Chains A and B, each alone.
Chain A
Amino acid sequence: MRRVAVSGFGVVSPLGNSAELAFATARSGRSGIRVLDLPHYPFANRLSTPLAATAHLDEAALFTSMQLRMLDRFSLFALFAANQAVDASHRALAGLDLDRAGVFVGTGMGGITSQDEGYKTFYGDDSDRVKPFTILLGMHNAAAAWIGMEHGFRGPNMTYSTACSSSAVSIGEAWLRVASGQLDVAIAGGAEAPLAPGSLKAWCALHTVAQLDPQEPHASCRPFSGNRSGMVLGEGAAMLVLEPWDRAVARGAPILGEILGYGLSSDGSHITRPSVEGQAAALRCALQSAHIDAGAVDAINAHGTGTQANDSTETAAIRAVFGARAEHIPISATKAVHGHLLGAAGALECVLSLMAMRHAVALPTMHLQTPDPECDLDYVPGAARDGVAARTMLSNSFAFGGSNAVLVLGAGD
Chain B
Amino acid sequence: MSTTFERLSVILQQSFNLAPERLTPDATLAGLDIDSLGTVELLWKVEEVFRITIPAAPINPLTLSDVVHHIDQLVARSAAPLAKPPRVSPATPGAQAHPAT
B40-A129 in contact (CB<8A): no
Closest chain A CB from B85 CB (angstroms): 13
Interface residues on A, range: under 10
Closest chain B CB from A375 CB (angstroms): 51
A131-B44 in contact (CB<8A): yes
One digit per residue, 1 when the CB lies within 8 angstroms of any chain B CB and 0 when it does not, for chain A 55-78 equals: 000000000010001000000000
A128-B53 in contact (CB<8A): yes
| In the complex, B41 has a CB within 8 A of chain A | yes
B48-A129 in contact (CB<8A): yes
Give residues 121-135 of A contacting B (CB, 8 Å).
128-129, 131-133
Q: How far is the CA of A131 from the CA of B40 in the complex (A)?
A: 10
Q: Which residues of B contact A128 (CB under 8 A)?
A: 53
Q: How far is the CA of A133 from the CA of B17 in the complex (A)?
A: 19
Q: Which residues of B contact A69 (CB under 8 A)?
A: 41
Q: Which residues of B contact A129 (CB under 8 A)?
A: 44, 47-48
Q: Which residue of A lies closest to B41 (CB)?
A: A132
What's the dominant secondary structure at chain B's contact region? Answer: helix
B53-A132 in contact (CB<8A): no
A133-B41 in contact (CB<8A): yes
Closest chain B CB from A71 CB (angstroms): 13
Q: Which residues of A contact B44 (CB under 8 A)?
A: 129, 131-132
| In the complex, B76 has a CB within 8 A of chain A | no
Q: Which residues of A contact B48 (CB under 8 A)?
A: 129
Q: How far is the CA of A132 from the CA of B44 in the complex (A)?
A: 7
What's the dominant secondary structure at chain A's contact region? Answer: loop
Q: Which residues of B contact A65 (CB under 8 A)?
A: 17
Q: Which residue of B lies closest to A130 (CB)?
A: B44
Q: Which of B37, B43, B47, B53 contacts A133, CB < 8 Å? A: B37
Q: How far is the CA of A391 from the CA of B44 in the complex (A)?
A: 56
Closest chain A CB from B13 CB (angstroms): 14
Closest chain B CB from A118 CB (angstroms): 13
Give residues 346-375 of A contacting B (CB, 8 Å).
none
Q: Which residues of B contact A133 (CB under 8 A)?
A: 37, 40-41
Closest chain B CB from A108 CB (angstroms): 27
Q: How far is the CA of A132 from the CA of B47 in the complex (A)?
A: 11
Q: Which residues of B contact A136 (CB under 8 A)?
A: 37
Q: Which residue of B lies closest to A129 (CB)?
A: B48
Q: How far is the CA of A65 from the CA of B41 in the complex (A)?
A: 13
Q: How far is the CA of A69 from the CA of B53 in the complex (A)?
A: 22
Q: How far is the CA of A128 from the CA of B84 in the complex (A)?
A: 14
Q: Which residues of A contact B17 (CB under 8 A)?
A: 65
Closest chain A CB from B7 CB (angstroms): 18
Given contacts A132-B43, A133-B41, A136-B37, 12 further A-B contacts (CB under 8 A): A65-B17, A69-B41, A128-B53, A129-B44, A129-B47, A129-B48, A131-B44, A132-B40, A132-B41, A132-B44, A133-B37, A133-B40
A interface, CB within 8 angstroms of B: 65, 69, 128-129, 131-133, 136
Closest 8 CB pairs of A and B: A132-B44, A132-B40, A132-B41, A129-B48, A133-B41, A131-B44, A128-B53, A133-B37
B interface, CB within 8 angstroms of A: 17, 37, 40-41, 43-44, 47-48, 53
A-B contact list, 15 entries, CB within 8 Å: A65-B17, A69-B41, A128-B53, A129-B44, A129-B47, A129-B48, A131-B44, A132-B40, A132-B41, A132-B43, A132-B44, A133-B37, A133-B40, A133-B41, A136-B37
